[in-house]
Amino acid sequence: MRPKTLILRTAGTNCDAETDMAFQLAGAETALVHIQHLISDKVNLADYQILAIPGGFSYGDDIAAGILLAIEMKHKLTDALNRFVEDGKLIIGICNGFQVLVRTGLLPGKDTSEMAQQATLAMNTSSKFECRWVDLETQESPCVFTKGVKARVYLPVAHAEGRFTAPANVLSELEANNQVVFRYAESRYPNNPNGSDSNIAGICDATGKIFGLMPHPERFLTKWNHPRWTRVAKTQETPSEEGDGLVIFKNAVDYVKSNLL
């Protein structure tokens, strides 16, 4: 069985092709689906085991990044999303997708049935769009997507509203439940590109099955995506054949295969 992944699209989504390729390389059967096809019941979310919300600028990031898509999902796909989560299926949101998951309340996910927003991804402290490669430190967490991921990974970011921030009690719960999945390896700008609380770059819900992150794992799938691959012979860097991001998608596919969701 090839796990089926639905890659959600709407106006302004622009990382769907890369996310599609990532899941295909990981061994999944994929479908690029516009949200209106879910709303109109032309496509049934229940037929899939993984939901991916890719990066981009959904609806032009009007009002705030990801908020219009989040509202659309909360109010037009409530039952389908609740069933998907209750069935223990997997959800990943990357960059704009992470913003969407936070604004729907699916992350941090204290009570997904209520879909109440508990945190936000605010404007970067630099007050500008940040686009660079950053080092991340993998944290101990229940996250299905990062099982066996090496301690330090290298991924690109590209966002203006990536500063994860939440009330002190929410941050305390995230730490207590080991829901922080990735942190920026350094706290100072530009290595922490947005000023996130506690250097948070990605989190999961308490089950580890819903995962969101600002960096783009789909942009580092092979060694050829590494920004310095042409200089490997002149440096001590020896990127493996696989990029640091591919294992995240492989973990999701392997989880579905082993659990027959």
pLDDT of residue 22 exceeding 80, the answer is yes
Q: Known catalytic residue: 131?
A: no
Q: What is the CATH number of domain 4-259?
A: 3.40.50.880
Looking at residue 113, its pLDDT comes to 58
Q: Known catalytic residue: 242?
A: no
Looking at residue 241, its pLDDT comes to 84
The pLDDT tens digits of the residues spanning 179-197 come to 999 999 999 999 999 999 9
Name the pTM for this structure: 0.95
- CA separation, residue 215 to residues 116, 155, 212 (Å): 24, 6, 9
Tell me which of 240 and 199 has the higher pLDDT: 199
Q: Known catalytic residue: 216?
A: yes
Looking at residue 235, its pLDDT comes to 54
Joined tokens for residue 182: 């990735």
Strand partners, 29: 4
Could you tell me if 217 and 158 are in contact, meaning their C-beta atoms sit under 8 angstroms apart?
no
Pairing verdict, β 163-165 and 210-213: unpaired
Looking at residue 230, its pLDDT comes to 75
Annotated active-site residue in 95, 143, 161, 226: 95
- Label residue 112 by pLDDT band (50, 70, 90): low
Strand partners, 156: 133
For 191, the 3-state DSSP assignment is: coil
Kindly state the average pLDDT of the residues 41-69.
95
Annotated active-site residue in 15, 143, 218, 226: 218
Helix (H) or strand (E) segment spanning residue 71: helix 67-76
pLDDT of residue 114 exceeding 80, the answer is no
Neighbours of 60 (CB within 10 A): 11
* Integer Cα distance of 229 and 243 in angstroms: 11
Looking at residue 169, its pLDDT comes to 96
* Integer Cα distance of 35 and 223 in angstroms: 33
* Integer Cα distance of 95 and 216 in angstroms: 7
φ, ψ at 234 (rounded to 5°): -100, 0
* Integer Cα distance of 113 and 155 in angstroms: 32
Annotated active-site residue in 18, 130, 159, 216: 216
Looking at residue 229, its pLDDT comes to 78
Domain chopping of the chain, boundaries: 4-259
Could you tell me if 9 and 32 are in contact, meaning their C-beta atoms sit under 8 angstroms apart?
yes
The pLDDT tens digits of the residues spanning 232-253 come to 655 555 567 899 999 999 999 9
The pLDDT tens digits of the residues spanning 75-108 come to 999 999 999 999 999 999 999 999 999 999 999 9
